[in-house]
Homo-oligomer: A and B are copies of this chain.
Amino acid sequence: MTKDEKKLGPQRSRIDEIDRQLLDLLSERSSIVHEVIEKKIRNQLPIFAPKREDDKTDKFRQMAGERGLDPDWAEDFLRMIMASSRASQSSSQFPRATEEPKHVLIVGARGGMGRLYTRIFEQSGHTVYKIDKHNWYELEEMAPKLDLAIVTVPINVTADVIRRLAPKLNKGTVLADFTSNKTDPIEVMKEAHSGPVLGLHPMHGPDVNNLSKQLMVACVGRDEAASAWMVEQARLWGMRVIEADPQKHDHVMHLVQGLRHFVALLHGSFMKTYDLDPRDILEYSSPIYRGELMMTGRIFAQSAELYADIVFANEERRQLLLNFIEHNDRLTRMVKEDDKEGFIKEFEAVTDFFGSFANQALEESGYLIDRLTDRFA
């Protein structure tokens, strides 16, 4: 340590002392929050209460401002503290939407989503039965007890599994699926089963700790009342639930999922032909570019079959990709002909289309980039 650095001694000691006190307070806070959650579970109150969180945040911002701290930073700080309670939920319990436990069958229980939802249903106090390729024979015994049966298997065998499962089910059992497109599976379920039908699309991967703030799309196929408890249960898990029309869902998903993954493959595939290691690219990447590189790279850490399923899901989606490819010819011609003016016009047209959304995107992605810079740069 230099003589100059020694001069900083007393202040550094006080900072270390403050950090210890911060940790003591956070530890106490965490215990109390845990007590509160357990009380809520016993009294069947929702764990995640957005309104209380918003009120606390407003108050916190105000108190921060009074003490000369930046209110935006303080809000981020508080949300991080609240997020830590949510994160610690993965080994705890969830409130149950129903007075009595429901009997839920997971078909495809050995898969990622199967295992995740088995755990979550059990942590919510429901009784879970598990079927996969190896134990179909057990279905006979389980079937009479079931309130809900969820099919969560690879997309290419979903229709077959539904048709194999449905005849064994009681008329009152809700038949549901987790497939990433909804129109076809719902049609198959309604044809194979005369009871309630619910198409679900949990829009997250199997690697999440808990379902807090994740998105679930729900499309009622038949008899909304019979499956209402399941929708409520998803909300008690902290999920955002959209109740949607299956065609609308599929239409949006073509863009959100289908196209997006195809574009990522185009991008990643070309990087491979370029003579640069991703680490070189990382070296030369500012935080913005690093963030985008990570968003593209993450895809390739996951299953090729899964993504192929998404991209080739059905004829409508393939057609969308073909439209995309055809559309690109226009922009491609601009590059070939060195038409910078044309590029600018096209760019401005997209800006007009995005409207105020582009500014919202700038703000949100700016926040993302700052967090990325702090953590990984």
Is A19 interfacial (CB 8 A cutoff)?
A: yes
The interface residues of chain B lying within 8 Å CB-to-CB of A215 are: 284-287
Q: Is there contact, CB below 8 Å, between B84 and A70?
A: yes
A344 CA to B265 CA in the complex, in Å? 10
Is A346 interfacial (CB 8 A cutoff)?
A: yes
Is A229 interfacial (CB 8 A cutoff)?
A: no
A265 CB to nearest chain B CB (Å): 6
The interface residues of chain B lying within 8 Å CB-to-CB of A252 are: 276, 280-281, 284
Q: Is there contact, CB below 8 Å, between B80 and A214?
A: no
Q: Is there contact, CB below 8 Å, between A269 and B346?
A: yes
Q: Could you mark each residue 344-377 of chain A with 1 if its beta carbon is under 8 Å from any beta carbon of chain B, else 0?
A: 1011111101110111111011111011111111
Q: Is there contact, CB below 8 Å, between A312 and B340?
A: yes
A295 CA to B287 CA in the complex, in Å? 12
Q: Is there contact, CB below 8 Å, between A73 and B69?
A: no
Is A60 interfacial (CB 8 A cutoff)?
A: yes
A115-163 interface (Cβ within 8 A of B): none
Q: Is there contact, CB below 8 Å, between B297 and A365?
A: yes
Is A256 interfacial (CB 8 A cutoff)?
A: yes
Q: Which 7 A-B pairs have the closest CB atoms?
A: A297-B361, A203-B286, A301-B358, A27-B67, A304-B347, A301-B362, A272-B353
The interface residues of chain B lying within 8 Å CB-to-CB of A29 are: 15, 18-19, 22
The interface residues of chain B lying within 8 Å CB-to-CB of A256 are: 281, 284-285, 289
The interface residues of chain B lying within 8 Å CB-to-CB of A283 are: 242
A243 CB to nearest chain B CB (Å): 12
Q: Is there contact, CB below 8 Å, between B346 and A242?
A: no
- A87-B73, A213-B377 given; A67·B297 CB < 8 A: no
Q: List 7 A-B contacts (CB under 8 A).
A: A23-B74, A214-B287, A214-B373, A279-B357, A294-B365, A297-B362, A300-B350
A179-218 interface (Cβ within 8 A of B): 203-205, 207, 212-215, 217
Among B7, B64, B263, B301, contact of A359 (Cβ-Cβ < 8 Å): B301
Segment at the B interface, from A103-111, A164-172, A325-333: A325-333
Q: Do most interface residues of chain A lie in helix, strand or loop, or is the interface mixed?
A: helix
Q: How large is the interface on A (under 10, 10 to 19, 20 to 34, 35 or more residues)?
A: 35 or more
A60 CB to nearest chain B CB (Å): 6
A327 CB to nearest chain B CB (Å): 5
Is A228 interfacial (CB 8 A cutoff)?
A: no
A371 CA to B294 CA in the complex, in Å? 15
Question: A370's closest neighbor in chain B, by CB?
Answer: B83
Question: A215's closest neighbor in chain B, by CB?
Answer: B286
Q: Is there contact, CB below 8 Å, between B39 and A15?
A: no
A46 CB to nearest chain B CB (Å): 11
A58 CA to B161 CA in the complex, in Å? 51
Q: Is there contact, CB below 8 Å, between B321 and A335?
A: yes
Q: Is there contact, CB below 8 Å, between A267 and B263?
A: yes
Q: Is there contact, CB below 8 Å, between A300 and B364?
A: no
